[in-house]
Amino acid sequence: MAGEGGADRLDLGAPVVDGADDEELEGEEAGCTLIAVTIPDTAARDRLDKALAQLVPEAAGLTRSRLQALIGEGRVALDQPGGQTIDDASYRVKPGQVFQIAVPAPEPAVPVAQDIPLTIVFEDDDLLVIDKPAGMVVHPAAGNPDGTLVNALLFHCGERLSGIGGVRRPGIVHRLDKDTSGLMVVAKTDRAHAGLSAQFADRTLSRTYHAVVWGSPATGEGEIEGNIGRHPTDRKRMAVVSKGGKPALTRWRTLARYGLLAAHVECKLATGRTHQIRVHMAQIGHPLVGDPLYGKARPTGALGARLKEATPDAQAQLLGFRRQALHAKDIAFRHPASGDMVAFTSDLPADLAGLIFSLE
C-alpha cells in the first residue's frame, strides 16, 4: 500500500471479475492492474477525478479524462472491507481515504476472422439472426481476445458487417451474457444498424426470454421496475439502486410451477440493462437456477428442505446446472430495409430442456 499521498501499482494476473447495456459484462477486468491511491491532507475536499489525476504516477498514463471514464465505469472503489464503488467524478475526497483504481488491460487489436460454427436462423443482405450458444462471448475484450461471436461473424461475412459498432464490435446491435443462450440480431449494413438501434431505443423491438428460477412466485405474472446500476460494494455485480443507475422494466409470467421448489418463467424486456433479468428476478426473491452472481450454489431454509424432497434426478440437475438458466427464445422487429414485421424463435437448448424435463 502506498504511503500518504502516493500510489502503488500492482499487476494482478488473475481476473478480478467475470463478466454493458443489455446483458453482458464478461471479461471486463481480466488481467487488470490495480492502483492504490491515498488521499493526503492537501487534497481534502477535492473532486475525486482531480485528486486522482494529481496523485496517480505519470507512468500509469492516466489523464483526468481517462480517470473520469474509469470512475463512470465503476472501476474506482474505496479500499476497505466492503469498500464502496464510487461512480461520481465530483465525489469529494477526505484525507486518509484509500482508493483502488482497476485499470483494464489494453484492448485487443482489431479482431481476426475465425472459422467458428454459427447457427444462423435467418440471413439476407441487411442482417443476420444468430442462435448463440451458452459459453460464447459476443465480442473481444480483455481476457477474451478471440473465439467470440464477432470473430465468427468476420469469417462468415467478411467485410459485409456494419461499422457503426466500431472495429471491436462490427455489426453488434445488442448483446447477451456469455452464458445466456439464444437469439441475437446482427447488422450487416449501417442502415440496418441504425434502424435496429432505433427500435431498441423506442422499445418496439420485442425480446422474450425463458428462465428457470428458484421458488414459486406468489402470483402468475407481474412487472419489476427499478433502476439498475453497479452494486454499491461489490462491483462484480449489478443491483437495483435507489440513486443513479438506469431505468429498467421487466415483465414476467409463470409458465409452469414445480411445486414450491422452482418455476419456469417467461420474461419480456422493456429495457435492456446489464444483467437485467438476473438482477430483477433475484430482487423479487426468485434468482435464476445456476446463476453464479445473483443466486446461491445451494438453497437453504425452507427451499433447501424442498430440494431434499425432490427426485434425485431433479436435485442433480438443479445443483449441477453450471450457468444461469436463461435463454433468449423469441425476437421480433420491423425489418429495417423492407419495413415488414419479422419474428424468430429458438428451441430451448438441451441443457435447459433437460433441467425442465427433470422437474416435470
Q: Looking at the annotation, which residues are catalytic?
A: 177
**Residue 133 forms part of a structural domain:** no
Burial class (CB in 10 A: 0-12, 13-18, 19+), 349: middle
**Residue 285 forms part of a structural domain:** yes
DSSP H helices in 56-189: 64-72, 149-157
**Residue 71 forms part of a structural domain:** yes
User: Which one of 56, 85, 104 terminates a domain?
Assistant: 104
Strands 228-230 and 181-187 come out as unpaired
**Residue 338 forms part of a structural domain:** no
How far apart, in whole angstroms, are the C-alpha atoms of residue 84 and residue 221?
Answer: 35
CATH of the domain at 310: 3.30.2350.10
How far apart, in whole angstroms, are the C-alpha atoms of residue 242 and residue 20?
Answer: 20
Could you give the number of structural domains in the chain? 2
pLDDT in tens, the chain (360 residues): 333 344 332 222 222 222 234 555 444 444 578 899 999 999 999 999 999 999 998 767 788 888 998 998 888 988 876 678 888 899 999 999 999 998 877 665 678 899 999 999 999 999 999 999 999 999 887 677 789 999 999 999 987 887 766 666 788 899 999 999 999 999 999 999 999 999 998 999 999 999 999 999 999 999 999 899 888 777 778 899 887 788 999 999 999 999 999 999 999 999 888 899 999 999 999 999 999 999 887 888 889 889 999 999 999 999 999 999 999 999 999 999 999 999 999 999 999 999 999 998
Q: How many residues does the chain have?
A: 360
First-to-final CA distance of the chain: 55
Burial class (CB in 10 A: 0-12, 13-18, 19+), 108: middle
User: Which one of 87, 104, 121 terminates a domain?
Assistant: 104
**Residue 24 forms part of a structural domain:** no
